[in-house]
Structure 1
Amino acid sequence: MTSAAADGPVRLAPGDSAPEFTLPTDSGDQLSLKELRGRNVVLYAYPSAMTPGCTKQACDFRDSLAGLQAAGYEVVGISPDKPEKLAKFRERDGLTFPLVSDPDKAVLTAYGAYGEKQLYGRTVTGVIRSTFVIDAEGRITKALYNVKATGHVAKLRRDLGLD
């Protein structure tokens, strides 16, 4: 039996350059990684807006945003959802950070956050819940794959030395 990793998505590692992107946001603007240069960025990939796990994770980031920003981190969420759905998600849950839309999944794939994953014991293709910490120069400092929706932000804060 071959492992899924052998022919699965590319995985980023600390020291790698973060793949550049310019994508539409929930507000109808464009957001580019280049615009965030000079700041640390937490880019988190999630499967689908307004689902229970993704809502829990987004609300955890929302509730931790002030502390993350005070420590010099910007938060950006990325999913294949269309900007209109992201706008509803942001409005419904009072999200205070940008959500970017990657409907063709090219950016998610470049980050290794789209491909085969296990879901309820079955192998499916989809968004792999992941978080990337990108430094001010655009390099990956943390690449966390298959993270849990619940408790992930608290663990990330501990890993970043913020708690």
Structure 2
Amino acid sequence: MNKLHPGDFAPECILLDQDNQLVNLIDYLGKKVLMYFYPKAMTPSCTIQACNLRDHIESFKKFNVEILGISIDTPDKLLRFSEKEMLDFTLLSDKEHVVSNNFGVWGEKKFMGKKYYGIHRTTFLINELGKIEKIFKNFKVEIHHLIILKYLQ
């Protein structure tokens, strides 16, 4: 896994969103971007994380922060997730896990004694110039949004 650090430029990110439209991270220059990687749409922890971000989106907007969620789910599944949970931010499909790998969040995981590859839940705050400002990991999904909002203050 690549190791990114605060101060590094964010790797290229061009992916399809839940509406099958290409989204390019470079289009967000001039704004802060909260890019959060999550394992799988419509799972309990990922739903809690997404809904907390949705419920506090106005607080993020006060800090000029756009939210992008990234998983390896297909655009169709992301659309179902977005509609079901009434998410009002962009979800991106990294089916081939290229962007996840470039951000260093794709790797081996263990669950109940089994090893597999997947996304390690990680959030990057990218500044207006496209540089990584802060990396958040090893957090409880229930307070993910609060940790980031506290940092932004």
Specify the TM-score bucket, using the shorter chain as the normaliser: over 0.9
Does 2:114 align with 1:101? no
Task: Provide the residue aligned with 2:55 in structure 1.
Answer: 63
Task: Provide the residue aligned with 2:14 in structure 1.
Answer: 22
- Which amino acid in the other structure matches residue 24 of structure 2? S
Counterparts of 2:53 and 2:110 in 1: how far apart (Å)? 24
The Cα shift of 1:118 comes to: 4.0
TM-score (norm 2): 0.95
Gaps of at least 5 residues in structure 1 are 1-8
Whether the 8 Å CA contact 1:13–1:140 is kept in 2: the answer is yes
Distance 1:96-1:17 versus aligned 2 partners, 3 A rule: same
C-alpha RMSD of the superposition? 1.3
Of 108, 125, 141, which residue of structure 2 is paired with 1:133? 125
The Cα shift of 1:134 comes to: 0.2
Whether the 8 Å CA contact 1:128–1:146 is kept in 2: the answer is no
Of 128, 135, 145, which residue of structure 2 is paired with 1:143? 135
Counterparts of 1:30 and 1:80 in 2: how far apart (Å)? 15
The Cα shift of 1:117 comes to: 3.0
Counterparts of 1:118 and 1:143 in 2: how far apart (Å)? 22
The 5 Å alignment of 1:77-92 reads: 77-92=69-84
The Cα shift of 1:25 comes to: 0.3
Equivalent pairs, count: 153
The 5 Å alignment of 1:107-118 reads: 107-118=99-110
Gaps of at least 5 residues in structure 2 are none
Whether the 8 Å CA contact 1:113–1:145 is kept in 2: the answer is no
